């Protein structure tokens, strides 16, 4: 049926395109009020530095963000403030963003002139009340994020402590032995762009997006651009399926899996295999339980999934790259269970991204019902040739701000006129998803939402 609709839908697509509407506004004070009272907590040390990983048996020099316990990132106890000294030992300047958290803007880690980068050797201090949930941190300087300057930021709630579940963090990344500059040069030169720098919808200063590898979306018959960088590996907690992390599960096998997509340019399908999981939070914000075995995780998004292991076996948690056979992951294994080798590639290419999970999400604590005071429309446009992306026809950094006022309820309609899916992220605000392709939803509270390309998400 879709095929026969193809020609008649073209005009509709051009008019309607794909849209995601969201509302932001009053969440910030709510989130603050939900935080614990201000406590004086010990200062933690976070070190931005370099480290060497072994990827497919070859050494790889990458960045890292190492916390007080010598492991990547920071985990905070219920009520603990984000009270951190960040020491820059990278040998170059950096600036770190606490993605999804809502600190005072001077601590947000976005490279504006008012918040300059941290010079090599310097230390910068942070102190704010964090939102509980699964968050992450990443560099906002140049293309350091592609070189793994990322780490988890987990803020426990009192409820987490009562739940008696084993916490398992799974952070995903895409990896290349080429430098980010080489990757970007490959994209821009081969596509004929001479001048334009990529416009980052993510705010990551880098959005290598997709383009050269078109894939047909079966649902709509539309061509759609997927991955265009040939990464050398996909990492789960810095490792590949050739040598995956094996997490021994505690007795009872009750797990809270905290998934973080820290990849620069890759969307993943999370496949629990023989397990069934229950999604209970997205981007750190609780949602009504959604059960399933396969969930989309767009760039920068997070998923909290509760899993009760059915037996004493081993269970791979797989993340497969959109449109590809490549995959990565970790293995959950009961104590004593033998761990067999996981095949590095899936038998079939994964499907393109879609909104199947987004449609099922419902915030536990939605924004209070209220008509928007102002509605902004943001049109994403651009293409691989030349390699340039715009919002409302403007290219970063020559952009006109969308003006809003404190206390306003603001609706933003994101419309994607490109051929690739863009995750869209707001700094300084969380938002609720209000409509998908014009269909109202009582959607999730989030900080990052995927806006699929024109008509490609399948209007089920
Ligand atoms: Cu952010």
Q: Each residue of 161-184: pLDDT tens digit?
A: 999 899 999 999 999 998 888 887
Give me ligand 1 centre to Cα 338, in Å: 40
pLDDT of residue 265 exceeding 60: yes
Mean pLDDT of 64-85: 97
The CATH number linked to 388 is 2.60.40
Residue closest to 267 by CA, chosen among 90, 457, 118, 454: 457
Task: Return the bridge partners of 44, or none.
Answer: 84
Q: Where are the beta strands (DSSP E) in 140-276?
A: 150-155, 166-175, 210-216, 223-227, 233-236, 246-249, 254-261, 268-271
Q: Is residue 344 part of a domain?
A: no
Mean pLDDT of 223-233: 74
Q: Is residue 23 part of a domain?
A: yes
Quickly count: other Cβ atoms within 10 Å of residue 281's Cβ. Answer: 21
- pLDDT: is 217 or 406 the higher one? 406
% the chain with pLDDT above 90: 65
Domain of residue 447, residue span: 2-33+362-451
Domain count, the chain: 2
- CA dist 359 and 283 (Å) reads 15
Give me ligand 1 centre to Cα 313, in Å: 38
User: In the structure, what pLDDT confidence band is assigned to residue 207 with cuts at 50, 70 and 90?
Assistant: very low
Q: Where are the beta strands (DSSP E) in 293-438?
A: 294-297, 302-308, 314-321, 327-334, 374-383, 388-391, 410-416, 422-425, 431-436
Give me ligand 1 centre to Cα 135, in Å: 10
Give me ligand 1 centre to Cα 136, in Å: 9
Give me ligand 1 centre to Cα 300, in Å: 9
Looking at residue 199, what is its pLDDT? 31
Give me ligand 1 centre to Cα 190, in Å: 30
Q: Is residue 306 part of a domain?
A: no
CA atoms within 13 A on the CB side of 215: 20
pLDDT of residue 336 exceeding 50: yes
% the chain with pLDDT above 70: 81
User: In the structure, what pLDDT confidence band is assigned to residue 12 with cuts at 50, 70 and 90?
Assistant: very low
**Is there a single domain that holds both residue 12 and residue 95?**
no
Give me ligand 1 centre to Cα 42, in Å: 25
Q: Is residue 45 part of a domain?
A: yes
- The last residue of a domain, from among 119, 137, 157: 157
Mean pLDDT of 129-153: 96
Highest-pLDDT range among 25-29, 110-114, 275-279? 275-279
Looking at residue 53, what is its pLDDT? 94
**Is there a single domain that holds both residue 55 and residue 126?**
yes
Q: DSSP letters of 163-194?
A: H--EEEEEEEEEE-SS-HHHHHHHHHHHTT-S
pLDDT of residue 34 exceeding 60: no
Give me ligand 1 centre to Cα 204, in Å: 8
pLDDT digits 0-9 by tens, 79-102: 999 999 999 999 999 999 999 999
Looking at residue 268, what is its pLDDT? 97
Three-state secondary-structure class, residue 129? coil
Helix H or strand E encompassing 9: helix 2-16
**Is there a single domain that holds both residue 29 and residue 43?**
no
Give me ligand 1 centre to Cα 64, in Å: 18
Give me ligand 1 centre to Cα 351, in Å: 27
**Is there a single domain that holds both residue 48 and residue 147?**
yes
Mean pLDDT of 117-143: 96
**Is there a single domain that holds both residue 109 and residue 57?**
yes
User: In the structure, what pLDDT confidence band is assigned to residue 455 with cuts at 50, 70 and 90?
Assistant: low
Mean pLDDT of 251-262: 94
pLDDT digits 0-9 by tens, 147-158: 999 999 999 999
Looking at residue 225, what is its pLDDT? 67
Q: Is residue 457 part of a domain?
A: no
pLDDT of residue 314 exceeding 90: yes
pLDDT of residue 192 exceeding 50: no
Phi, psi torsion values for 182, nearest 5 degrees: -65, -40
- The environment of the single-atom ion ligand 1, i.e. residues with CB closer than 5 A, is 99, 427
**Is there a single domain that holds both residue 413 and residue 384?**
yes
Q: Is residue 283 part of a domain?
A: no
- Whole-prediction pTM value? 0.85
**Is there a single domain that holds both residue 16 and residue 80?**
no
pLDDT of residue 256 exceeding 80: yes
The CATH number linked to 130 is 2.60.40.420
Give me ligand 1 centre to Cα 166, in Å: 27
**Is there a single domain that holds both residue 20 and residue 75?**
no
Give me ligand 1 centre to Cα 14, in Å: 30
Residue closest to 422 by CA, chosen among 389, 375, 386: 389
Q: Is residue 188 part of a domain?
A: no
Quickly count: other Cβ atoms within 10 Å of residue 339's Cβ. Answer: 14
pLDDT of residue 236 exceeding 70: yes
pLDDT of residue 263 exceeding 90: yes
- CA dist 101 and 308 (Å) reads 29
Give me ligand 1 centre to Cα 296, in Å: 19
- The last residue of a domain, from among 133, 157, 181: 157
Q: Is residue 423 part of a domain?
A: yes
- pLDDT: is 35 or 343 the higher one? 343
Instruction: Give me the residue label for tokens 């209070």.
Output: 368
Give me ligand 1 centre to Cα 99, in Å: 4
Give me ligand 1 centre to Cα 259, in Å: 17
**Is there a single domain that holds both residue 28 and residue 91?**
no
Give me ligand 1 centre to Cα 374, in Å: 23
Give me the count of residues in the chain: 460
Looking at residue 240, what is its pLDDT? 95
Burial 111-134 (b: 16+ CB within 10 A, else e): beeebebbeeeeebebbbbbbbbb
Looking at residue 23, what is its pLDDT? 72
Looking at residue 398, what is its pLDDT? 87
**Is there a single domain that holds both residue 14 and residue 73?**
no
User: In the structure, what pLDDT confidence band is assigned to residue 269 with cuts at 50, 70 and 90?
Assistant: very high
CB proximity list for 332: less than 8 A, separation 6 or greater: 168, 247, 249, 253, 255, 307, 309, 314, 315, 316, 317
Give me ligand 1 centre to Cα 298, in Å: 14
- The last residue of a domain, from among 137, 157, 177: 157
**Is there a single domain that holds both residue 401 and residue 439?**
yes
Looking at residue 189, what is its pLDDT? 58
Highest-pLDDT range among 12-21, 54-63, 390-399? 54-63
Looking at residue 5, what is its pLDDT? 30
**Is there a single domain that holds both residue 64 and residue 151?**
yes
Q: Which stretch of 6-20, 177-191, 398-412 has the lowest confidence by average pLDDT?
A: 6-20
The dihedral through the CA atoms of 69, 71, 74, 76 has a sign that is negative
Three-state secondary-structure class, residue 12? helix
């Amino acid at each position: 049926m879709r095929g026969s609709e193809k020609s008649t839908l073209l005009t509709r697509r051009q008019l309607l395109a794909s849209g995601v509407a969201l509302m932001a506004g009053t969440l910030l004070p709510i989130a603050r009020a939900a935080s614990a009272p201000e406590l004086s907590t010990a200062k933690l040390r976070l070190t931005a530095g370099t480290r060497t990983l072994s990827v497919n048996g070859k050494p790889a020099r990458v960045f890292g963000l190492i916390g007080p316990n010598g492991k990547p990132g920071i985990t905070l106890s219920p009520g603990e403030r984000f009270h951190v000294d960040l020491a820059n030992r990278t040998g170059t300047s950096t600036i770190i963003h606490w993605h999804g958290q809502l600190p005072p803007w001077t601590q947000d880690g976005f490279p504006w002139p008012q918040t300059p980068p941290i010079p090599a050797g310097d230390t910068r201090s942070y102190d704010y009340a964090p939102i509980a949930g699964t968050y992450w941190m990443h560099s906002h300087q140049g293309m350091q994020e592609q070189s793994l300057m990322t780490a988890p930021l987990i803020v426990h709630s009192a409820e987490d402590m009562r739940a008696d579940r084993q916490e398992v963090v799974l952070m995903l990344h895409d990896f290349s032995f080429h430098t980010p500059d080489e990757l970007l040069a490959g994209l821009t030169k081969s596509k004929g762009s001479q001048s334009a720098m990529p416009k980052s919808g993510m705010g990551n200063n880098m959005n290598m997006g997709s383009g050269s590898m078109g894939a047909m979306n079966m649902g709509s018959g539309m061509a759609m651009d997927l991955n265009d960088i040939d990464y050398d590996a996909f990492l789960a907690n810095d490792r590949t399926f050739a040598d995956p992390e094996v997490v021994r599960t505690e007795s009872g096998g009750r797990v809270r899996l905290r998934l973080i997509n820290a990849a620069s340019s890759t969307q993943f399908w999370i496949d629990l295999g023989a397990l069934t999981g229950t999604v209970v939070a997205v981007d750190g914000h609780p949602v009504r339980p959604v059960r399933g075995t396969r969930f989309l995780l767009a760039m920068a998004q997070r998923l909290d999934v509760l899993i009760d292991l059915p037996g004493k076996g081993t269970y791979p948690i797989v993340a497969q790259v959109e449109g590809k056979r490549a995959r990565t992951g970790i293995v959950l294994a009961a104590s004593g269970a033998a761990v067999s080798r996981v095949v590095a590639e899936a038998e079939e290419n994964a499907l393109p991204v879609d909104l199947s999970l987004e449609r099922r999400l419902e915030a536990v604590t939605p924004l209070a019902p209220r008509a928007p005071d102002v509605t902004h429309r943001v049109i994403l446009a651009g293409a691989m040739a030349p390699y340039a992306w715009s919002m409302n026809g403007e290219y970063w950094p020559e952009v006109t701000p969308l003006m809003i006022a404190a206390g306003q309820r603001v609706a933003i309609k994101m419309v994607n006129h490109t051929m690739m899916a863009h995750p869209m992220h707001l700094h300084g605000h969380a938002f609720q998803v209000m409509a998908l392709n014009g269909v109202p939803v009582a959607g999730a509270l989030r900080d990052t939402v995927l806006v699929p390309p024109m008509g490609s998400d399948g209007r089920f």
